[in-house]
Structure 1
Amino acid sequence: MKWNVLNNSTQLEEIKRLSEQQPVIVFKHSTRCSISATALNRLERNWKEEEMAAVKPYFLDLLSYRPVSNAVAQAFDVYHQSPQILVIHKGNCVYHTSHMDISYPGLKAQLAQLDVAA
């Protein structure tokens, strides 16, 4: 899985613009949380590039970039959680979930509703 690093709140406008063309996911990760590590590992192990070619994934280390995490919550009107995954489409967060509800099949199902992933 090839992550794009999200480490500056100015990238949020870029993410919104990109999401007009393709879905963007943002994974908010806490490096001190075992649940976050497990959710990240499960997602990365199951990720299939050929199924997700139309999706641009961003990774946010929220302990290193807490102000960016706060900006994500505000920009997309979601309550901050960790770990958390957001699907951004057409400039808006159309799906978000957290903790052990983060899964590749769940993400894939949400993206399928957007007609962008198998």
Structure 2
Amino acid sequence: MELLTSKEAFEQALKDHEELILLKHSLTCPISGEAKGQLETFEASHEDVPTFIIHIQDNRDVSNFVADYFDIKHESPQVFYIENGEVKFHASHWDVTSKKLESVTVK
């Protein structure tokens, strides 16, 4: 999981990858910790899908930029499955599960 700390790094990730998963993660929220664990479970068996994370406390500007970029209200935790620069799936809180990520990425 690669940490995104700038708007430019986010835009570069979109350019570099046909598909990716992005997690907005709160470093202090236990629900967000569970969501991160779910993404790590998914990631362990899907190494072909790049994963990125934004620590919202440290990079609020990047998190807000993503919300504006996709016109999707900010939540935390919040996961996005992005294909060809478009959000194909997003979920927040307890809806962030490895099974849901599996269902949207399997082709």
Same-fold call, TM cutoff 0.5: yes
| Cα deviation 1:56-82 (Å, max 9, x = unaligned) | 100110011000000011112211000
Q: Give the Cα separation in 2 of the matches to 1:87 and 1:48.
A: 13
Q: Deviations over 1:75-110 (max 9, x none)?
A: 122110000000111111111000000000100101
- Which residue of the partner structure matches residue 30 of structure 2? 34
Amino-acid identity (%): 30
Contact kept? 2:32, 2:93, Cα under 8 Å: yes
Q: Is residue 16–residue 92 contact of structure 1 (8 Å, CA) maintained in 2?
A: no
Letter in 2 for 1:18: D
What runs of 5+ residues in structure 2 fail to find an aligned partner? none
- Specify which structure has the higher proportion of helix: 2
Residue 18 of structure 1 corresponds to 16
Q: If the length of structure 2 is used for normalisation, what is the TM-score?
A: 0.91
Q: What displacement does 1:12 show? A: 2.3
Q: Runs (4+) of structure 1 moved beyond 4 Å? A: none
Whole-angstrom CA distance in 1 between matches of 2:24 and 2:36 = 9
Give 3-state SS (helix, strand or coil) of 2:71's partner: coil
> Which residue matches 1:9?
7
- Count of residues in Structure 1 that have an aligned counterpart in Structure 2: 107
Q: Contact between 1:29 and 1:83, CA under 8 Å: does it hold in 2?
A: yes
From 35, 48, 54, the equivalent of 1:54 is 48
Q: CA deviation at 1:52?
A: 1.4
Query: How does the TM-score come out when normalised to structure 1?
Result: 0.83
Kindly state the Cα deviation for residue 48 of structure 1 after the two structures are TM-superposed: 4.9
Which consecutive unaligned segments of at least 5 residues does structure 1 have? Answer: none
